[in-house]
Chains A and B, each alone.
Chain A
């Protein structure tokens, strides 16, 4: 059994089912992100783990113990909130020491642990400040230290970086990951930002309408999306409609162009299927062996700096592709006839 075990979890608010049969096992020391748009139920699952919401049905076990009915203050869970939620009337030291004080730790013990935590978050000299005297990034670090000071079994992070500006966000997410690795603490991180989820996590849970659409490593989630939603939500994607010609041999037709995928496909002859391909897997021009080559013409060119995003009309449908900028080679003009090639392995067939 996993360290944190979420078993057939359901939550309804009135007639609205916001979490549907959610199952997940998280190993000790693992960093798992819940990724999804707002309203997908990711925060609700997190709040049920924290004990702030009561599940309609299902069970939550931590280290073999059923905590489903335990009140929030008995769960030994550390939580970091989007709005920091530092106690404004307490200094940084008092904030970090709050949980230890509640647990009845001695003064010297507490002071030692607080100093340790301040060192860990790299703010050893700000202990006597009040929260309003700190920047947003510093406040969130203190909130992290406060959650970790009591040595919780599980750390929950509820969009902790959303209120910060872009630069701080990147540096703080690296720091959170470093601290998490150092302490080996089991962590759930809720975010709607795919870059955060992909860059930080051991595994990502992509949630959609209360259901975990896919659970996998960032690499799997990005390269082998299991559903149309995951494919569309994570990263940029080209979606093409095609007709299935021969499922066993893997023959499809893209507009008028026959394409051989050289693998067995689900479905029957004549089915309409969706093909997905990432812009970075499509190349301008004809490539060698094993590639599918499609003819079309340039429809749009967007110069983004290091990357140039080009849209090509292929078989009546738009395909985006990315190429690196090269100073000696200006981007092609709109209307130019071109060929694009893509490896047949990178053409993903999506379940509807």
Chain B
């Protein structure tokens, strides 16, 4: 092995240790709930906890709804910006990046100010209203990821020709979007969707300040009140996030017509 390669490997190993050691430590700790050796006791407690099931189920449901809402907002927007208003692209891109620039706490305080019980639209006053507000908030948070990936997907197909071909065959806008455009950017939509899922599952600030009992606040509550279970929960959350990333890779690679590139 040459000296150069040795240094490269050393850098990889050091970097790997930097990232992996805390995880290994956390995982190790999560297994030590019982004095007499390693066990999955902490995991058993967490996974059978009714509150875990309730909050996790709620967050999963909300994440799926967020994805649907995100697709409904982002796909037509990105499509029409590319097709008809290319000049608006920098502006739309700037808007979709705002949630990365403005801290969630600022956004949620804005929501509370605008939609409080003494406003014209008192969304925070009811269970439904609060949930809808949270859903809209999450859709906003997902914009940067959703828009970028969908826009990249649209770049790989000739949307102008496909649209005109579909139009000349009698199709209207909704059909063009549903049958022609969406399936062709489906892989990109999925990668945006999995990122959205990972964000919504662990989100804390919106949920806590809107007083919604979702998975994020549950994890924080757990962290403040137990010893071993939080580590188990963190590992579970990590696995979910990684599974999402893995699924992105999987879908990108095994898409039926992903070899089509113009």
Among the stretches A81-89, A183-191, A307-315, A324-332, the one at the interface with B is A81-89
B184 touches A89 (CB 8 A): yes
Indicate with 1 or 0, residue by residue over A266-299, a CB within 8 angstroms of chain B CB atoms: 0000000000000000000000000000000000
The total of chain A residues at the interface (CB under 8 A) is: 31
Indicate with 1 or 0, residue by residue over A203-220, a CB within 8 angstroms of chain B CB atoms: 000000000000000000
Q: Which residue of chain A has the shortest Cβ distance to B259 in the bound complex?
A: A132
Q: Does B72 contact A (CB under 8 A)?
A: no
From residue B174, how far is it (CB to closest CB) to chain A in Å?
A: 11
User: Number of contact residues on B: which range applies?
Assistant: 20 to 34
Set of chain B residues within 8 Å of A76, measured between Cβ atoms: 170
Choice from B161, B170, B175, B179 contacting A85 with Cβ under 8 Å: B161
Most B CB within 10 A of own CB, among A74, A99, A146: A99
Set of chain B residues within 8 Å of A132, measured between Cβ atoms: 257, 259-260
Considering the chains assembled together, what is the distance between the CA atoms of A47 and B36 in angstroms? Answer: 79
B162 touches A85 (CB 8 A): yes
Set of chain B residues within 8 Å of A131, measured between Cβ atoms: 260
A146 touches B169 (CB 8 A): yes
B257 touches A98 (CB 8 A): no
A81 touches B170 (CB 8 A): no
Considering the chains assembled together, what is the distance between the CA atoms of A132 and B179 in angstroms? Answer: 18
Q: With contacts A81-B161, A131-B260, A132-B257 known, is A98 near B166, CB below 8 A?
A: yes
A73 touches B172 (CB 8 A): yes
Q: Does A72 contact B (CB under 8 A)?
A: yes
CB under 8 Å from chain B, chain A span 73-111: 73-79, 81, 83, 85-89, 98-99, 102-103
From residue B176, how far is it (CB to closest CB) to chain A in Å?
A: 9
Q: Which residue of chain A has the shortest Cβ distance to B158 in the bound complex?
A: A83
Q: Does A222 contact B (CB under 8 A)?
A: no
From residue B254, how far is it (CB to closest CB) to chain A in Å?
A: 14
Considering the chains assembled together, what is the distance between the CA atoms of A86 and B164 in angstroms? Answer: 11
Set of chain A residues within 8 Å of B158, measured between Cβ atoms: 83, 85
Set of chain B residues within 8 Å of A79, measured between Cβ atoms: 164-165, 168
Choice from B162, B168, B184, B259 contacting A147 with Cβ under 8 Å: B168
Choice from A71, A81, A88 contacting B260 with Cβ under 8 Å: A88
A52 touches B164 (CB 8 A): yes
From residue B34, how far is it (CB to closest CB) to chain A in Å?
A: 53
Choice from A50, A89, A102, A150 contacting B183 with Cβ under 8 Å: A89
Q: Does A55 contact B (CB under 8 A)?
A: no
From residue A350, how far is it (CB to closest CB) to chain B in Å?
A: 39
Q: What are 26 A-B contacts with C-beta separation under 8 Å?
A: A50-B168, A72-B164, A72-B168, A73-B167, A73-B170, A73-B171, A78-B169, A85-B162, A87-B162, A87-B180, A87-B184, A88-B157, A88-B260, A89-B183, A89-B186, A89-B256, A89-B257, A102-B170, A102-B171, A102-B175, A130-B256, A132-B259, A132-B260, A147-B169, A150-B169, A156-B168
- Give 10 new A-B contacts, CB below 8 A, not counting A78-B169, A146-B169: A50-B164, A51-B167, A72-B168, A79-B164, A85-B165, A86-B165, A88-B184, A98-B171, A131-B260, A132-B257
A-binding residues in B (CB < 8 A)? 157-158, 161-162, 164-172, 175, 179-180, 183-184, 186, 256-257, 259-260, 262
